[in-house]
Amino acid sequence: MLSVSKTLNGAVIVIPIAVGAYLSGIVYLAEGNAIPFSVFQITLIVGMLLWGVKKIIEKDISFSFYGLEIQYLLYLSIIFFSLIYSPEREQGLFFAARYIVLIALTYLIYNCVSTIKEFRIICYSIIIIALVIALQNVIQTVLNPEIAAFNYINAGKQIIRSRGAESDPNIFASNFILPIMLLVAFMGETKSLKKRIFLYALCGALLVAVLLTYSRSSWVAIFIGAMIIMIHQKKYSFLFYSTIILLLALIGSDSVRNVIFSVSERIVDIFAGTSDDSSKFRILLLESAILMWFDSYTFGVGYQAFSTYSKTYYPPQELGGAFEPHNEFYTVLAELGLIGFIVFMFILWKTLKTGWLTMKFFEDKNTEVQAISLALFASFIGYLIFFQFIGGMQYHSILTINIGLLFCANKFTRYDYSELIEVEKYID
């Protein structure tokens, strides 16, 4: 008879939550209702209930913390204090509750996953579900030649972008950062040429899906994340294969050349402030954030109040109706002031430090956790870069899972290496 711990293990609880997070990018439930309802919300609730049931049955009241509790409480205190003077109290309360739930998710992952085997299975599952969604999206786009023609004619300026069911194609593209980093890290670790080619083929499918979103912020994040992995491993097979495939595609296909041309146009304008409206709006929003910060005597204008106050600095025609913040860091500075910004940056710094120390711990150890810990570290940096160009970092479900797994990997560093090897032998 199977025990509760084996039946309701970390993989059984966390994998459906990860699947729900990805499916929420292509499927909506109760669409049009006042409160958005997604697959992710259902799987998250079910996962928490299952974990609670497991604890009750096993009569285990233990709970593990990963060391950011004081910082989270301080940051949330600043958020709730700012709601006193924020003009968007209702919206602020809703997003504060959402943020708290996602913090709870990181602790759920940290407490659920107790073995390396579960940890590895979860990472493999993330790659598989991302591939399914990517292929479904690529097929839909490729089978619609009108999209490619429209994008080519408009030279990348006004384009139809692949985005699943997400309202923002950038967010849809960012969902693939974590699985791409995992595949790049696995490529660097494997010694088999066949396995490297197979892993690159899987990675290529994800990259095509990202390219079709025309999300420049995701392109930059993925490139830098992949370079971090390759430089650390001192293995550049991913870059080598990508160069060869790109050259072959340029030579052999007119349609691919058209896509690459429009993609190149988007890359050229990524940091421009004149030729591309999107970049120009980002600069104006940055100026608005700085003015909000000064005008509030560095205390901030209140949680979720950025969009409300940005309308007072620039008329709608200047911003093209884009009043939402396009950078998570200046958003925190404008809304929560200098103190909130410092606490927020300290949380990110401690998370980065944890990822770095975990990666260094497994650096000289011949285990697959080495590649996974490196991928989690690189993908977290990738998300930090991505959210230089867009807001919503604190409510990104895949990033939350990334953080939970990153701290989970750090938990394994507390084992003696001899014990870790024994666990690996048992798994194999």
**Is 4 a member of any domain?**
no
Nearest to 209 by CA among 127, 143, 128, 134: 134
**Where in the sequence is the domain holding 94, given as residue range(s)?**
69-427
How many CB atoms lie under 10 A from the CB of residue 16? Answer: 20
Max CA separation in the chain (angstroms) = 68
**Is 9 a member of any domain?**
no
pLDDT of residue 337: 94
What is the Cα–Cα distance from 354 to 67, expressed in whole angstroms? 10
Residue type at position 156: G
**Is 23 a member of any domain?**
no
**Is 46 a member of any domain?**
no
What is the Cα–Cα distance from 284 to 274, expressed in whole angstroms? 11
- Alpha carbon 427 to its chain's center: 29
**Is 176 a member of any domain?**
yes
Please provide the distance, in angstroms rounded to a whole number, between the alpha carbons at the two ends of the chain. Answer: 23
Q: Give the H or E element holding residue 29.
A: strand 28-29
**Is 33 a member of any domain?**
no
Measured at the CA of 350, the angle between CA 345 and CA 354, to 5 degrees, comes to: 145
Determine the 3-state secondary structure of 253 from DSSP.
coil
Beta bridge partners of 37: 29
User: Helices 328-361 & 69-82, crossing angle to 10 degrees?
Assistant: 170
Nearest to 87 by CA among 283, 346, 292: 292
pLDDT of residue 428: 43
Residues of the chain below pLDDT 50: 1, 31-32, 34, 151-166, 272-274, 417-419, 421-428
Residue with structure tokens 């294969």? 241
Instruction: Classify residue 222 by burial, with Cβ atoms within 10 Å: 0-12, 13-18, 19+.
Output: buried
**Is 310 a member of any domain?**
yes
pLDDT of residue 162: 47
What total number of domains does the chain contain?
A: 1
What is the Cα–Cα distance from 63 to 11, expressed in whole angstroms? 18
110: CB partners within 8 A, 6+ apart: 64, 66, 404, 407, 408, 411
DSSP 8-state code for residue 393:
G
**Is 294 a member of any domain?**
yes
Total length of the chain: 428
In degrees and rounded to multiples of 5, residue 119 shows phi and psi of: -60, -45
pLDDT of residue 77: 97
Return the structure tokens found at 376.
């989690």
Nearest to 125 by CA among 386, 398, 413, 403: 398
pLDDT of residue 214: 78
What is the Cα–Cα distance from 30 to 39, expressed in whole angstroms? 10
Helices of type H across 304-392: 306-310, 316-319, 328-361, 368-386
Determine the 3-state secondary structure of 38 from DSSP.
strand
pLDDT of residue 144: 63
Asked if 327 and 282 touch (Cβ cutoff 8 Å), the reply is: yes
80: CB partners within 8 A, 6+ apart: 96
pLDDT of residue 129: 94
Residue with structure tokens 């309701």? 8
pLDDT of residue 427: 42
